[in-house]
Chains A and B, each alone.
Chain A
């Protein structure tokens, strides 16, 4: 059953002198509780796609349905973590994390306890009262992740949430996120550059190509890998096979796209 549906979605960016077709005729769907990753070269429209799903941007053509309803009338909560952390520099980490509940006027002492325990989970309990400028890039990214998770959205949109992290922290957070998603039965769309991350976290992977952004390929992640923790997945023989396949497809894309780009410029 399809939960999130994109039906022939295209999107353009306009400036005074020209326009860019960022996405062309994108159709796919995500099932409830499914974890889908978007892979693709830089500039292929992954962030744009997430903005469209979040409702931040309206698609120029096509439509997006959530649970069979149009975005505007659907009251299903969507959590969106932007590509950069965008923590408010004038708020402490704990206040940053609690901004969602504050906006929705659902601030309680309980929620604050939850925020603190989530911060503890990602190793930030000591910096709760500090300001974002006093934190490292990776710490800020973790805080932004908690800010998105705290409102327990039904659908999570994550734009390269782990890109500024060291390998160990990254694995730890991958485990945390996939555990949370499984525990609470959430649906998620993850944008990443990291093929390994895509395989180890998702049920399905969508490979995109650029100029304009399209869906190039789709991969089902083998069932054996899905319930494995992100760390163990990376050791599984089927992991290597899928990795090589995606890698080959990505390289092929580069070969066919690059000459075109040179002709254009």
Chain B
């Protein structure tokens, strides 16, 4: 009798909760920028170093109108997406190979661990020497920073799949590849998605550092350039843009997750 009524109340509660959370989130955002602006104007913080939201937005707007900013954004975004995709896909492929050749996995284990523990950005200069001071080394940087950790996490996920699922498939005489396709991969999908999320952040780190080192273009270059000419508004502007782009990329991964994994 009360079912529909209670359900409506439950739905309303959910909507209300979502509204409250959103209100808080927006308030924090507005407060942050307001505080930044006020603090800068009243010299609580040094406006030369920390700039202010109004100056940042004017700077972004000016550069957008001039048309120079879009080029920088394009370059960095492309490098990041490529580094991210290549790193993630290569990581998953290597993990699959490790899964299918068990002894190979055991042999490789210490090398993977060492390579993973190593600060990959330290390899920057070597990459530049090897691949030349251009896009290639920057993309390689975005790739190298995410590939090993992806391999390790995804392989661990493959490894933890309940053996009994494979038993079921083998009772139908499934091949190794069929076992992988029907059980191991789908069972590991949640873990793979979460490495995707981590990799979004990592590939931005790799690419920005790469741009620090070599490039004449891109957001990382703008940061270094702003730093050199003491234009901290430019530095801040680039940071704000990176934050927005990284958030969009993360949200895209989340959308893919919702498509792939039934909740």
Q: Which residues of A contact B (CB under 8 A)?
A: 51, 54, 56, 78-80, 82, 84, 86, 88, 90, 99-100, 102-104, 131, 151
Contact = CB atoms under 8 A, between A and B. Distances in A.
Given A90-B189, A99-B172, 10 more contacts: A51-B167, A56-B167, A80-B171, A86-B164, A86-B165, A90-B187, A99-B169, A103-B169, A103-B174, A103-B178
Interface string B173-197: 1100010001100110100000000
A99 B182 contact: yes
A86 B168 contact: yes
Chain B at the A interface: mostly helix, strand, loop or mixed? helix
Contact of A151 (B168, B172, B262): B172
Contacts of B173: 103-104
B172 A56 contact: no
A67 B173 CA distance: 19
B186 A88 contact: yes
B159 interface: no
Contacts of B169: 99, 103
Nearest to B170: A56
Nearest to A56: B167
A104 B172 contact: yes
A90 B165 CA distance: 12
Nearest to B174: A103
A80 B166 CA distance: 12
B171 A54 contact: yes
Interface of B: 162, 164-165, 167-174, 178, 182-183, 186-187, 189, 262
Contacts of B186: 88, 90
A103 B172 contact: yes
Nearest to B168: A86
A168 to B, nearest CB: 27
B116 to A, nearest CB: 26
A151 B174 CA distance: 14
A151 B187 CA distance: 24
B165 A56 contact: no
Most B CB contacts (10 A, CB to CB) among A100, A103, A131 go to: A103
Most A CB contacts (10 A, CB to CB) among B162, B172, B182, B186 go to: B172
Contacts of B174: 103
A76 to B, nearest CB: 12
A78 B164 contact: no
Contacts of B187: 90
Given A103-B174, A104-B173, A84 B164 contact: yes
Contact of A90 (B171, B178, B262): B262
